[in-house]
Amino acid sequence: MTGADQAIGGDLGQRAGQATASCVVNGVETVLEGGLAEPATGFLRRLGLYGVRETCSLGVCGTCTILLDGEPVSACILPLYALDGREVRTVEGLESEGQLSTLQRQFICSQAFQCSFCTPGFLLSAQALLDATEGPLTDEQVVEGLQGHLCRCGCYESVKEAVRAVAARRQESDADGAQPTTGPQDAGRAAP
Partner 1 sequence: MPRLLRPETLSETLRALADGGDDTKLVAGGTAVMLMMRAGLLFPEQLVALEHVRELDYVAVEHDTVRLGALTSLRELERSAPLAAALPTLAGAVALVANHRVRGRATIGGCLCEADYASDPPAVLASLGARVRLKSLRGEREVPLTEFLVGYYETVLADDELLTEVVIPRPPRAARTTYLKYMSRSMEDRPCIGVAAYVGRDDSSRVGQVRVAVAGATATPFMLAEVTSMLDGALLEVDGCRAVGEAYQQAIEPLSDVRGSAAYKRRVTGRLVTRALEAALSSPRNGAFRL
Q: Would you tell me which residues interact with partner 1 (CB under 8 A)?
A: 9, 12, 15-17, 19, 36-37, 39, 57-60, 62, 65, 71-74, 77-79, 81-82, 125, 144-145, 147-148
Q: How far is the CB of 81 from partner 1 (least distance, A)?
A: 6
Q: Are 62 and 121 in contact, with CB atoms under 8 Å apart?
A: yes
Of 12 and 47, nearer to partner 1 (C-beta) is 12
DSSP, res 178: P
- Residue 132 burial (10 A CB sphere; 0-12, 13-18, 19+): exposed
Q: Are 39 and 56 in contact, with CB atoms under 8 Å apart?
A: no
Residue 117's contacts (CB-CB under 8 Å, 6 or more residues apart) are 53, 55, 63
Q: How far is the CB of 59 from partner 1 (least distance, A)?
A: 5
Q: How far is the CB of 123 from partner 1 (least distance, A)?
A: 14
Q: Are 162 and 184 in contact, with CB atoms under 8 Å apart?
A: no
Of 138 and 171, nearer to partner 1 (C-beta) is 138
Of 71 and 134, nearer to partner 1 (C-beta) is 71
Of 100 and 150, nearer to partner 1 (C-beta) is 150
Q: How far is the CB of 79 from partner 1 (least distance, A)?
A: 5
DSSP per-residue codes, 89-157: E-GGGTSBTTBPPHHHHHHHHTT--SS-TTHHHHHHHHHHHHHH--S---HHHHHHHTTT---TT--HH
Q: How far is the CB of 26 from partner 1 (least distance, A)?
A: 19
Of 25 and 75, nearer to partner 1 (C-beta) is 75
Which amino acid does the sequence have at 45? R
Of 64 and 165, nearer to partner 1 (C-beta) is 64
Q: How far is the CB of 10 from partner 1 (least distance, A)?
A: 12
- Residue 92 burial (10 A CB sphere; 0-12, 13-18, 19+): middle
